[in-house]
């Protein structure tokens, strides 16, 4: 899942980016309000972490403009401590949740996970397809009760596919949501990672594969087909 951070304090932005990348998210960072608004409008993200006090355009205005333009990406707003006015204003302008500064990274992660959950997803932390499960909190992946070790990108790819279970995802979709803007991507990067993933979640299990190729369209994960 791909996250955009808009925060002018480089130290905070950098720490968040590194922390989130360790959790397998693809992360873009902007340090200025206008740049943040332009990036949010131009690229697809699954979540925006938005500071309130920003040069050129503040967080409220960004949120308001994005919503007015039909962008419904979940927004987590970073507000100043004890500023109830900020919180109310933030939620009114279209933010989905807020976090007063300073915050603990653990709490931020929990909010991020909650916001990335689709509204009708009652399962919470566990995503699944057939006998495969992925725990978004512990990052544990299992099939038929057996633990599977994945690299960070393999995990990110699997998480994205499971969140869109039974939908065909184009290579472009996958690239946009699993890799960040600065990533080195070759034309066959997605294929290569799909192969890595199949070798770990499908091949060893002598069962019909969970990852299916839809020729000319892309890939999907679903209940296994024979």
Q: Where does this chain bind Ca ion (CB under 5 A)?
A: 8, 51, 53
Q: Is 6 helix (H, G, I), strand (E, B) or coil?
A: strand
Beta carbon of residue 200, minimum distance to Ca ion (angstroms, whole number): 41
Tell me whether residue 1 or residue 78 sits nearer to Ca ion (CB atom).
Answer: 78
Beta carbon of residue 7, minimum distance to Ca ion (angstroms, whole number): 6
Tell me whether residue 8 or residue 130 sits nearer to Ca ion (CB atom).
Answer: 8
Nearest partner of 76 among 56, 60, 96, judged by Cα: 96
Q: Is 197 helix (H, G, I), strand (E, B) or coil?
A: helix
Nearest partner of 153 among 116, 185, 126, judged by Cα: 185
Beta carbon of residue 127, minimum distance to Ca ion (angstroms, whole number): 34
d(CA 226, CA 112): 36
Element spanning 133, H or E:
strand 132-135
Beta carbon of residue 8, minimum distance to Ca ion (angstroms, whole number): 5
Q: Which residue's C-beta sits nearest to Ca ion?
A: 53
Tell me whether residue 8 or residue 97 sits nearer to Ca ion (CB atom).
Answer: 8
Paired residues of 51 in beta bridges:
78
Tell me whether residue 30 or residue 158 sits nearer to Ca ion (CB atom).
Answer: 30
CB of 220 within 8 A of CB of 214?
yes
């Amino acid at each position: 899942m791909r996250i955009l951070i808009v925060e002018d304090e480089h130290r905070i932005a950098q720490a968040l980016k590194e922390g989130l990348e360790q959790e397998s998210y693809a992360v873009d960072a902007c340090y200025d309000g206008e740049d943040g608004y332009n990036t949010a409008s131009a690229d697809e993200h699954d979540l925006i972490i938005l500071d309130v006090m920003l040069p050129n355009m503040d967080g409220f205005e960004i949120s308001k403009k994005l919503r007015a333009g039909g962008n419904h990406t979940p927004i987590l707003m970073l507000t100043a401590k004890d500023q109830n006015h900020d919180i109310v204003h933030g939620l009114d302008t279209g933010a989905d949740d807020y976090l007063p500064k300073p915050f603990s990274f653990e709490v931020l992660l929990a909010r991020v996970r909650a916001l990335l959950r689709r509204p009708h997803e009652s399962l919470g932390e566990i995503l699944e397809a057939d006998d495969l499960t992925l725990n978004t909190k512990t990052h544990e992946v299992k099939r038929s009760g057996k633990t599977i070790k994945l690299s960070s990108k393999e995990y990110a790819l699997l998480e994205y596919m499971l969140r869109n279970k039974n939908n065909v995802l184009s290579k472009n979709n996958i690239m946009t949501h699993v890799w960040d803007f600065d990533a080195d991507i070759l034309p066959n990067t997605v294929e290569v990672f799909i192969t890595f993933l199949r070798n770990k979640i499908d091949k060893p299990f002598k069962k019909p594969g969970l990852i299916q190729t839809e020729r000319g369209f892309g890939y999907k994960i679903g209940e296994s087909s024979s």
